[in-house]
């Protein structure tokens, strides 16, 4: 009996320890779980709920039923943007709540600057168990995360490797499905007494748009609506639009991109040949040239892109179904976003990088039962720099002073702060795909941009010219707008660019650049010194 009562008291103690927080552990009762699903290069045009160019088509073809279900039950942000339309910089801005120049990630694969605060540690400190799975593409690993399995670099669509604290592991199967499996497995074995934050970061639908074999034949006989600007001649724009290398007609390859004559890495070749072989045969016989070839490329590119999107949507569906089955739906915030926008043939392009509309737009859908009104469409200008503060406020944690972004929680509640931003800052530093470096400002109506290596400015009136076909920078009717926006741009650069001198950068290439006092001094910014534990 004595032994039994000792065992009993041990069990009671053990159970108590699991439920009641220790003296120094934060109280977590009532805190929502957070699921953050981030995809790669997914455009708003290809989400049914967005009401963008291909949305109606996507609804008819059932491309994104689960994302649409999420939007119907939560908030969809129509004015959601990135601050630098490239993978690693966007992810670093999400992590740090800072613009690229301040967090140190201006280009692909770079590490977040030493000592800069990031949200995963703050969410964990607020009592959460945390997991990050999938594409990461930064030079440092999220060591302050309970469970992480990340693709090295861009990762592979088929049989990808993942890196974890104990090294690299090779998985067998299709990336989008495997990441979902890892996420659900982690949820199943989590500590149910504490809230969780699960992040699933998909590689899809990034180039080279390798679909899962279950969708090889889906959409094969369907015509995708062409954008009116598929054969844009860039007449109303400056040198940069002419100099890019992201045209479907000229730059998209018949090999890896269009899969006419290149084996995909790890792709199930027999199934692939059964589905794509006859298409490739017909293509070879047709001998297409010029506009007909571009049209064919557009159709086939878009089919593979949408097949990849559909697999991401399946992943969203599996996660939503799990939450529902486990009774977690009401107390879990689910966020769907992508690291930037993407061109689906608009202006004849694929890829992103520009401050222009299709590139700078990021999908953002948030379902938060009891907080975000179902079917709401908050129109505030929001940016990827806002996510860190948002996640930490959801978790009841603490953010340091000096973040560039602000929490979206009041907006989600339907109470946007009266002093919310009316303009946002953008800076792209990488000359990849022939896109000239530029910085600029986007307001509710206008886009002002300076392509500083060539000293060319452009202004778009997005209300009158939503496709951005004609720069009105030099038109006298817009002189006042140009002056006001330049003043606003300078203000934003003073606020966000502690070690970038816009006047020095505003010289055509070949011109001498002077180094500002700030550039000569250490690049440390006050925010760094407030950092907690880095990554």
x-or-dash string of contact with ligand SGN, 289-328, rule CB under 6 A: ----------------------------------------
If one asks whether residue 41 binds ligand SGN (CB under 6 A), the answer comes out as: yes
Give the interface segment with ligand SGN, choosing from 201-209, 406-414, 489-497, 521-529 (CB under 6 A): 201-209
Q: How far is the CB of 428 from ligand SGN (least distance, A)?
A: 11
Give the interface segment with ligand SGN, choosing from 203-211, 324-332, 395-403, 521-529 (CB under 6 A): 203-211
Crossing angle for the helix pair 290-325 and 65-72, to the nearest 10 degrees: 60
Nearest-CB residue to ligand SGN? 87
Select from ligand SGN, Ca ion, none the partner in contact with residue 237, using the beta carbon and a kind-dependent cut-off of 5 to 8 Å. Answer: none
Crossing angle for the helix pair 387-394 and 87-96, to the nearest 10 degrees: 40
Q: How far is the CB of 271 from Ca ion (least distance, A)?
A: 27
Q: Which of 34, 86, 372, 394 touches ligand SGN by CB under 6 A?
A: 86
- The binding site for Ca ion (CB under 5 A) comprises 40-41, 87, 339
Taking CA 52 as the corner, what is the angle to CA 97 and CA 108, rounded to the nearest 5 degrees?
A: 35
Contacts of residue 304, Cβ cutoff 8 Å, sequence gap at least 6: 209, 210, 211, 259
Give the C-alpha separation, 535 to 124, whole Å. 12
Give the C-alpha separation, 49 to 67, whole Å. 8
Q: Based on CB atoms, which residue is closest to ligand SGN, 173 or 432?
A: 432
Say if CB 411 and CB 426 are below 8 A apart.
Answer: no
Q: How far is the CB of 389 from ligand SGN (least distance, A)?
A: 24
Q: Based on CB atoms, which residue is closest to ligand SGN, 64 or 85?
A: 85
Q: How far is the CB of 154 from ligand SGN (least distance, A)?
A: 6
Select from Ca ion, ligand SGN, none the partner in contact with residue 208, using the beta carbon and a kind-dependent cut-off of 5 to 8 Å. Answer: ligand SGN
- Interaction residues for ligand SGN, span 224-253 (CB under 6 A): none
User: 410-449 burial, b if ≥16 CB within 10 A, otherwise e?
Assistant: bbbeeeeeeeebebbbbbbbbeebebbbbbbbbbeebbbb
Q: Based on CB atoms, which residue is closest to ligand SGN, 174 or 196?
A: 174
Nearest-CB residue to Ca ion? 87
Say if CB 197 and CB 331 are below 8 A apart.
Answer: no
Give the interface segment with ligand SGN, choosing from 157-165, 206-214, 222-230, 373-381 (CB under 6 A): 206-214
Give the C-alpha separation, 258 to 227, whole Å. 19
Closest CA to 448 of 475, 421, 473: 473
Q: Based on CB atoms, which residue is closest to ligand SGN, 84 or 481?
A: 84
Closest CA to 113 of 83, 145, 148, 139: 139
Give the C-alpha separation, 365 to 505, whole Å. 36
Give the C-alpha separation, 358 to 373, whole Å. 27
Q: How far is the CB of 517 from ligand SGN (least distance, A)?
A: 33
Beta strand spans in 242-353 (E): 332-338
Q: Based on CB atoms, which residue is closest to ligand SGN, 207 or 442?
A: 207
Give the C-alpha separation, 509 to 215, whole Å. 47
Give the C-alpha separation, 491 to 495, whole Å. 6
If one asks whether residue 497 binds ligand SGN (CB under 6 A), the answer comes out as: no
If one asks whether residue 87 binds ligand SGN (CB under 6 A), the answer comes out as: yes
Q: How far is the CB of 107 from Ca ion (least distance, A)?
A: 13
The shares of helix, strand and coil residues in the chain, as percent rounded to the nearest 5, are 35, 15, 50
If one asks whether residue 208 binds ligand SGN (CB under 6 A), the answer comes out as: yes
Q: What H or E segment, with its residue span, contains residue 150? A: strand 147-150
How far from the centroid of its chain's Cα atoms is residue 482's Cα? Answer: 30
Select from Ca ion, ligand SGN, none the partner in contact with residue 297, using the beta carbon and a kind-dependent cut-off of 5 to 8 Å. Answer: none
**Count of chain residues binding ligand SGN (CB under 6 A):** 13
Residues composing the chain:
535
- Interaction residues for ligand SGN, span 129-158 (CB under 6 A): 137, 154
CA distances, 321 to each of 36, 184, 259, 375, 386 (Å): 15, 11, 34, 20, 28
Q: Which of 40, 232, 393, 461 touches ligand SGN by CB under 6 A?
A: 40
Q: Based on CB atoms, which residue is closest to Ca ion, 238 or 341?
A: 341
Full strand arrangement of the beta sheet holding 438-443:
423-428, 438-443, 446-451, 456-461
Select from ligand SGN, Ca ion, none the partner in contact with residue 207, using the beta carbon and a kind-dependent cut-off of 5 to 8 Å. Answer: ligand SGN
Tokens at residue 349, please? 């392009």
Q: How far is the CB of 310 from ligand SGN (least distance, A)?
A: 19
If one asks whether residue 433 binds ligand SGN (CB under 6 A), the answer comes out as: yes
x-or-dash string of contact with ligand SGN, 380-419, rule CB under 6 A: ----------------------------------------
Q: Based on CB atoms, which residue is closest to ligand SGN, 57 or 174?
A: 174
Q: How far is the CB of 117 from Ca ion (least distance, A)?
A: 23
Give the interface segment with ligand SGN, choosing from 155-163, 169-177, 205-213, 434-442 (CB under 6 A): 205-213
Q: Which of 351, 358, 393, 456 touches ligand SGN by CB under 6 A?
A: 351
Select from Ca ion, ligand SGN, none the partner in contact with residue 414, using the beta carbon and a kind-dependent cut-off of 5 to 8 Å. Answer: none
Beta-bridge partner residues of 426: 440
Q: How far is the CB of 302 from ligand SGN (least distance, A)?
A: 16
Give the C-alpha separation, 194 to 166, whole Å. 25
Say if CB 407 and CB 388 are below 8 A apart.
Answer: no
Binding site for ligand SGN (CB under 6 A): 40-41, 86-87, 108, 137, 154, 206-208, 351, 432-433
């Amino acid at each position: 009996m004595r032994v039994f009562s000792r065992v009993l008291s041990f069990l009671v103690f053990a159970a108590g320890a699991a439920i009641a927080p220790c003296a120094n552990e934060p109280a977590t009762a009532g805190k929502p779980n957070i699921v953050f699903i981030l995809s790669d290069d997914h455009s708003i045009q290809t989400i049914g709920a967005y009401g963008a160019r291909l949305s109606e088509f996507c609804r008819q073809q059932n491309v994104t039923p689960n994302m649409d279900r999420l939007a119907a039950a939560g908030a969809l942000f129509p004015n959601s943007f990135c601050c630098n339309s490239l993978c690693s910089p966007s992810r670093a801005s999400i992590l740090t709540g800072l613009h690229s120049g301040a967090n140190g990630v201006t280009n692909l694969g770079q590490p977040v600057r030493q000592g800069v605060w990031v949200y995963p540690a703050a969410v964990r400190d607020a009592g959460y168990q945390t997991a990050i799975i999938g594409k990461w593409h930064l030079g440092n690993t999220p060591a302050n995360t309970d469970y992480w399995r990340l693709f090295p670099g861009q990762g592979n669509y088929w049989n990808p490797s993942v890196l974890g604290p104990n090294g690299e592991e090779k998985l067998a199967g299709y990336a989008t499905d495997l990441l979902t499996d890892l996420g659900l497995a982690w949820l199943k074995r989590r500590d149910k007494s504490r809230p969780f934050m699960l992040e699933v970061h998909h590689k899809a639908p990034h180039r080279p748009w390798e679909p899962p074999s279950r969708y090889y034949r889906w959409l094969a006989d369907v015509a995708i609506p062409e954008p009116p600007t598929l054969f844009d001649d860039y007449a109303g724009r400056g040198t940069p639009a002419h100099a890019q290398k992201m045209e479907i007609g000229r730059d998209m390859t018949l090999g890896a991109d269009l899969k006419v004559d290149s084996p995909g890495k790890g792709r199930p070749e027999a199934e692939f040949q059964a589905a794509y072989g006859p298409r490739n045969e017909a293509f070879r016989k047709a001998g297409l040239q010029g506009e007909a070839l571009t049209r064919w490329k557009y159709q086939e590119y878009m089919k593979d892109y949408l097949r990849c999107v559909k697999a991401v949507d399946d992943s969203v569906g599996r996660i939503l179904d799990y939450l529902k089955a486990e009774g977690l739906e009401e107390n879990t915030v689910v966020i769907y976003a992508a690291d930037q926008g993407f061109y689906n043939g608009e202006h004849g392009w694929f890829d992103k990088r520009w401050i222009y509309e299709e590139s700078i737009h990021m999908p953002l859908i948030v379902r938060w039962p009891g907080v975000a009104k179902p079917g709401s469409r908050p129109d505030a200008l929001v940016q990827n720099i806002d996510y860190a503060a948002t996640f930490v406020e959801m978790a009841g944690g603490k953010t340091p002073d000096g973040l560039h972004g602000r929490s979206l929680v009041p907006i989600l509640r339907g109470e946007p702060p009266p002093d919310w931003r009316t303009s946002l800052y953008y800076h792209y530093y990488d000359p990849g795909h022939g896109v000239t470096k530029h910085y600029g400002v986007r307001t509710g109506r206008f886009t002002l941009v300076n392509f500083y290596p060539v000293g060319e400015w452009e202004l778009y009136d997005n209300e009158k010219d939503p496709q951005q076909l004609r720069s009105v920078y030099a038109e006298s009717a817009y002189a006042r707008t140009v002056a006001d926006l330049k003043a606003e741009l300078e203000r934003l650069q003073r606020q966000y660019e502690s070690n970038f001198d816009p006047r020095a950068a505003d010289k055509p290439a070949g011109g001498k650049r002077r180094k500002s006092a700030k550039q000569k001094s250490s690049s440390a910014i006050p925010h760094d010194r407030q950092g907690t534990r880095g990554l």
